[in-house]
Structures are given as C-alpha cells and as structure tokens.
Structure 1
C-alpha cells in the first residue's frame, strides 16, 4: 500500500512535466507531418503554458527546476527548427539560433551541479572570510534559456526575423557560460577558505562556540540566547550545519559564523583556545561535536516546559545542563530519567529579565487584554499539545467578554495545513471585531514578528496557552494564565504537566471545549491561583533576585570559560 501511495505521489508530482513533454512532442510531430505549421501551435502553447506553471516559483524570484524541463525545451527547439525547414524554407540563421540555444540548455546540468558545490564557509572571520561565498544565480540563466526557446518558436511560426532568435540564443549561451565561470571560481574560493579556516580561527582565539542545527525558520532558538552569550564578554563563534541556518544566524550577529555540514569537517573548527561549546536544542548533529572531550559541553535548550522533549534522556550526553529552576531537575526524575545532580546548573531564564510584573489584580481591569499563544503540533504525536483546533471558540468567548486579544501562534504553525487554517480563522474574527467594535486586537505580523514574546507578555493582562515554554516564562509576570488540556483530560492534566498547578485548565481533550465559562470566570475575575503562581515562580524560574536576574546566568556560564 505504501509503495502504491509513493508511486501515486511521484506521478502526481511529475504529471505537469509529463504533460508538457507530451504536448511538446505532439508539436514536434505535427511540425514534421502536418500540411500547415499552425497545427503545431496549440500543443506548443500548451507546452509553454505548462512550462510557465513549472517555473512559477522562479518567475517570482525562487529557484528554477531546470532538470525537469530540459526535455520539454529541447523538444520545442526541435519543433521550431522543423517549422522553419519544412514550412518556411528557413536559412542557416534559424538553424544556428536553435543550435546555440540547445547548447545553452544542455550546459545547464553541469553548471547547476557545479553551483551546488558553492556554499559559504565563514563570515565575519578575518583570514577566512569576512563575507559569505554566495552561490551564482543559475535561475536567471535558465529563464533566459527559456526565453530563447520562446523567441525561436515565434520566429519559426512567423517565418521571419530569424536573426533575433540567433541574437537571443547567443545571449543565453553567453549567460550560462558566465554563470558556469562564476560557479567554478567560487568553488575554488570555497576550497581556499576551507584551507585557511583552522588557522583563521586559531588566530581569532575564541573561548567558546555556539553549535546550532535545526530546520529553516527556527532561528528563535538561537536568537533567544545570542544576546546573553554576547554579554559573557568572551570571543566566540557560531557553528552551523546547514546553509539555511548560516543565512539566518548571519542576520542576527556580528560574531563569526562558520558552516561545517559534515562530521569530518568539525575538526576544522577545534582550536586550542576553545574551552566550551553551548547548544540550544537536542539536534542529532550535536553528537558530532560532543565527542571532543577537551571541551565542556553545555546544553541551554530553548525554553522550559513539561513537554516530553524537556526530559529526553539525550540530555545525559552533555557535561552540564543549564536549567531555569528546580522544576526542570525534578522533571527528569519524575519521568524515570536518571540524571546526576552535578549535571545541572540552575541559571533562571535570562530572557524574562524584562518581563513586567503584574501591577494590579486582573479583577480591577474593565477591559483586560488577553494573550493567546498556542503552540504547534510537534514533530511526533506524543508532543502535539496545540489548542489551535479549538482556538477559535476560546478567542470568540474572550471577545464576547469584552477582552482585546494579542494573538501570537507558534512560528511552526504554518507546518500544519489544519492549524494554519484555524489561525487564519482567528485572525479573520479579530479583524472583523476590530472593525465593528474598535477593540485594538493585535495579530498577524505585528504580534508575530514586530513584537517580541516579551513585548506580547507586557502588552497583556492574562494569557491562554498550551503545554509550552511560553507558560513558564509568563509565570515570571505573576499574571493569571490558562492552559488548554489537549492530550489529557483536565482532571489528570496537572499530574502529567505539573506547571498546570498555577493555571486555570481548559478541557479540550475530546476535541471541543467543555468548561470554558467557569475557567474564564476565574481567569478574568477572582483569580484564586494568584498565591500559587507566586510560589511556583521560584520553583520554575529559580530563586534568583529580580535585580540582576540575567547576571546569574552570565556568572555561571563564565565559570566554564
């Protein structure tokens, strides 16, 4: 069944290209045997239309799938040649133009393959590369080759202006040749940078490095820690494992950024001055670096929560685990993961140092602003805690009570079509209510990118969220919050997720909300859990004075540097 599904998926993905190839072949055959050239026009137009569909991303600035369209374009060039020879008595000029265009197209695979070997090695690093080595724009050359095909067809159908086809084809060949020269030159530059990398790092004398490997679009993981690592006052660099990660980090720091994707390439960055390596997630490629026993390996993670990944046994492979509070230490033992006490350092969550503490009881506010911050679906079923599928009902109930909303879904929400759809429904609801009531809801780019998480915290009087690190961070504010029980019934929720002791629990484990009104009464009214939140704040975020809260992390980190 899986094989059949895979075949169907492959066919579905290839169908536009196959249809274009068939149409181009039909145009070629009709050009050869039909008594009029115009018989070849409909299938040629179909092939060109499908070619445009296949290139829709490239036409808007994305990459061009050159390999999947090479046959289509060669068939259309052959069609243009036959139209000229059979029906127009074309001279050598059209044939030469078609031949030059074909050479340009046939050169694409070699140029594209060489271009893929161009990738950055380092940036902001004197002696190896202050600027990244950029891949040449092969999409532009492929599009110009496509234009040469279109011009050849137009000239062939018109039976004239063959010299224009030749000029465009020569330009296409020149561009693909120039792109190939750029690729070869930059591959050589990459090799030179790699040769100089170790010496350049040794001369820089970094004391520590930050290792990061993650899917594209997750730069928040490293972004939350970079400001505090910079405050350590020591030289460091960021080691990333993919080009996407390289580009993301480069926009976030002036520190050297180094890309080493393979296991054997890690040797290039190990220099005598290094004392420690920091990590912000449990990516598989972390084990490429932890094998260097001369370094102290410190796991920072990217938030504290009761999620399954927060007590993963893989944390044992680090020398130290910096955690926010005693709750993180106890979480491992409570879930059967044995960890020696000396592996932990309680450092708080420096990211909450600017979170404002509640100024007044929420019951005193006539129109409270509520932050709705649902998490995403997770990589695995046992880590799917998102409430977005019932989020519309929650937000609608809050709006009906006169609340204004700050809506900030997890950055990974767009990975799920269902969650994306629900997110858009909520935004539409808020937009309509803002139009009719004048309430100043905050959502979309303003809440998700212009405002930081801390900005959203400080702009709110209460929060509704899921099992997420956002909840532990919000605890610092001592403001009331609710958590949505998605994977577990409300009556067992606090057993599975102890932080919920400080939360008003919305029961949605059956796929619909069942106790929303009484929960919102407590959340927005009497707030009986205020004292509990105050007590649990130290347990989850460390018994650390608010004055100089982040300095505690800085002092502890510097012990290993």
Structure 2
C-alpha cells in the first residue's frame, strides 16, 4: 500500500470517528432539549430506604455495558448495605433489569437531594464520563472510581483519577501503570481489590465441542475513542485469524466487543463482516463443528468452554488469565512493535503474539500453544502481578473496602463539622 492510500485510509477512519462523535453529541443535545421541554416533575423520595452506597452512571446507552458488569457485585454488596443506582438521563438506565433501586435525577438539585435525603456516604463511578463531575460536586460523600475492567490500554490511566478520593484497581500492575504515567499522582489513592466480577458464577454460553475438536475464542476489542486507544485487530488481522483457525480444524467462537458491531469505522466494519462470512461458510460446510458468532451475553460465560483465547490488548485477555490460567493466550499487536508491547502489556510475555509477521501462521501458533504451551509455568506469576488475589477473595475485599470508605467518610464529616 502506498503512502497516499495509507493517508486516505487514515483520513477516512478519522472522519468516521468524528462523525460518530457528532452523532453521539447530537443525541445528547436532543435528549437535553427534550428534557428541557418536558414539564418539571418534582423528584419524590418519600418512602425511600436510606442507601449509604450510590452508583452514579452516565454516558449514554451505548456504554451501559460498563454498568451491567457491576450489577452482580452490587447485588452481593446489597445483602450487607443498601445500594441505589443514580442517573441523570432516563435513557441511560431505561429497561435496566435489576432489583437495585434506580433513580433518575434530571437536575443538579435533584442529584444532591438524592444523596442528602438517602444518606449516601460513598458514590461509586464505573466510568470516566464527563457527567461524573456534576456528581463530584457533592461534598458529604467519598467518591470512588471503580472502572469497568482491568487492561493495559492507555485509557486505563488518566489524570481524571485525581478527581476521586479513592480509585479501585485490580492489582500491582495497575498501581505501576498509574505511577509510570501520571505526574504528581498520589498512588495512596489506589486501592487493590482484585476483580470482584470474576468471583461470581456465570451461566455457560457454550456447549462442549465434539470429540477431537479444540475451541478457539476470538474476542477482539473495539477501536477506542482515538488512535492511541485503538487496539482492535478486527480490521488488520481478524479475517485471517478466523480463516486460519478454521482451516486448522478448530471450532471458532467469535465474541467481539459490543461496540465492534456498531462501529463507524469502514475498515473495522469490513473486517467484522468478513469474520461473520467465514464462520457462516464454516457452519454450512461443517455444521457439526459448531463454530459460532456470539453478539450477546457475557464473554466470561464462554471461558470454560474454550481451549485457547485470541484477544487484543483489553480486559478480556486479563480476565481469561485470571479465570483460566491453565489455558494459553494469543495476543494481537496491531502496531507490530514487540518491544513496546512487552513494556505496555506484561501479559504479552506469557502469550504468543500475533502481528504482521505471524498472522499468516495463526493455525500453527494455535497448535503449538495447545500441544506444548511453553508459557504455562510463567502465567501464574503474571496473573499474581495483575490481580494479587485468588478466586473468591475479591468480592470480600471489595465489600470490606466499601465499608472502610463508609467509616472514613463518617470520621471525615465529623472532623469537618466539629
């Protein structure tokens, strides 16, 4: 490909991202205009139980997956302390299936009324949406960022962490990541809790493969908001990965990030469609192999039914490392920079790397990973570096952390108010 074609492709992808951003902005503006035109109905909090823990969620329906993964953890927390979910926009939580009380606070006054009248002591934030700063104005609670995954993406670390009283991270890898990237950041704000979501049972999404057939899970991420956060392999390697795996006799399960399916990037859309076509062809030619596409459901529910994972730099690879340390991982590198990948993503040191030099041999890499698994022994140490806890510990650590925050808040308020 010549430089002119490369530049045109980059410009096209950038234009698509800008267009997607404008569409989301337009949706937000329309929502605000509708809200402004809707007659004001006073927020009725009468009869509501006190809730010392609130989860503030904003950002739009397209990022609701960030909240959904926390619901089972919040259900467990709620067996000890009442929890409430608070949003500013009705569409952010419309149709949310949960027994946790959900409140919509359209105005800043409503939001503060919820916190004050329900006695909220700790506010949890599953993302870094701009609207979080409206909630951070409230002074009588501790504000805790819990994020929505653990990964080596650039987006996992930003100066927005400085806005919160505490930041929950999975393990030492995240602590080191923040220490390397941020200027004058107090790492004492970071609290290691593991990944409580991973300690909860999940309904399996996959039946066993037929005898003699190994299952490959290809679970790529999306493009991110900008080039530095783009780790997807769908456009550069996806179709080749899937075709080579199918040619090698593997059952392939394709479970892309939800935002791959709604991408505005032409190259990613084309790659996604090519993957779908390859799997559909396999299902016609060899239906008993049961290769399949999973666009819904929790990716964690697939892990017990697969033998090897092919993933990008994302939370999926690390979640798999935690839950299936016995199974090999292939990690993609769209930038073809092995040295940078090893520094930015330590998990790559215990994974086979798929890049421009190896993608054509993915079938061979998969066979080698399953037959010899040269990284098996080292995966345990890397897993401990990322998570620092065993299965079952994270849920307890997270609940105890929230309870400490509640106590710390009470002490701080008493000290402030004399």
**TM-score (ref. length: structure 2):** 0.79
| Distance in 2 (alpha carbons) for counterparts of 1:541 and 1:385 | 22
Q: Does residue 504 of structure 1 match 2:349?
A: no
The answer for the alignment partner of 2:239 in structure 1 is 392
* TM-superposed deviation, 1:517: 5.4
1:555 and 2:372 matched? no
1:237 is paired with a residue whose SS is strand
**1:378 offset after TM fit, Å?**
0.8
Question: Does residue 1:437 correspond to 2:286, yes or no?
Answer: yes
Query: Are 1:466 and 2:305 matched, yes or no?
Result: no
**Is the 1:323–1:348 Cα contact (8 Å) retained in structure 2?**
yes
Q: How does 1:240-279 map to 2 (within 5 A)?
A: 240-247=87-94, 250-271=95-116, 273-279=119-125
Q: Kindly indicate whether the alpha-carbon contact (under 8 Å) linking 2:112 and 2:138 is maintained by their aligned counterparts in 1.
A: no
Residue 347 of structure 1 is matched in structure 2 by 193
Question: Normalized against structure 1, the TM-score is what?
Answer: 0.60
Report matched runs for 1:144-543 at 5 Å: 191-194=40-43, 196-197=44-45, 200=46, 203-232=48-77, 233-247=80-94, 250-271=95-116, 273-354=119-200, 366-389=212-235, 390-413=237-260, 414-416=262-264, 417-444=266-293, 447-449=294-296, 451-476=297-322, 477-478=324-325, 479-508=327-356, 513=359, 516=362, 519-542=365-388
User: What's the offset of the Cα at 1:254?
Assistant: 2.3
Give the number of the structure with larger relative contact order, counting CA–CA contacts within 8 Å between residues 6 or more apart: 2
For 2:384 and 2:329, the matched residues in 1 are separated by: 17
Shift of 1:524: 2.8
Counterparts of 2:168 and 2:215 in 1: how far apart (Å)? 33
The Cα shift of 1:385 comes to 0.7
Structure 2 residue runs of 5 or longer lacking an equivalent are 1-14, 16-29, 203-210, 407-418
The answer (yes or no) to whether the contact 2:248–2:363 under 8 Å persists in 1 is: no
The answer to whether the Cα contact below 8 Å between 2:283 and 2:291 also exists between their aligned partners in 1 is: no
Deviations 1:173-232 (A, max 9, x none): xxxxxxxxxxxxxx55xx3433x34xx37x521111101112322221111112212211
CA distance in 2, matches of 1:526, 1:497: 23
The answer to whether the 8 Å contact 1:465/1:484 transfers is: yes
* Higher radius of gyration, 1 or 2: 1
Report what 2:206 is aligned to. none
Deviation at 1:306, TM superposition (A): 0.7
Q: How many residues align?
A: 362
Instruction: State whether residues 245 and 363 of structure 2, in contact with CA within 8 Å, keep that contact through their aligned partners in structure 1.
Output: no
Q: Which runs of 5+ in 1 are unaligned?
A: 1-8, 10-111, 120-186, 357-364
Deviation at 1:547, TM superposition (A): 4.1
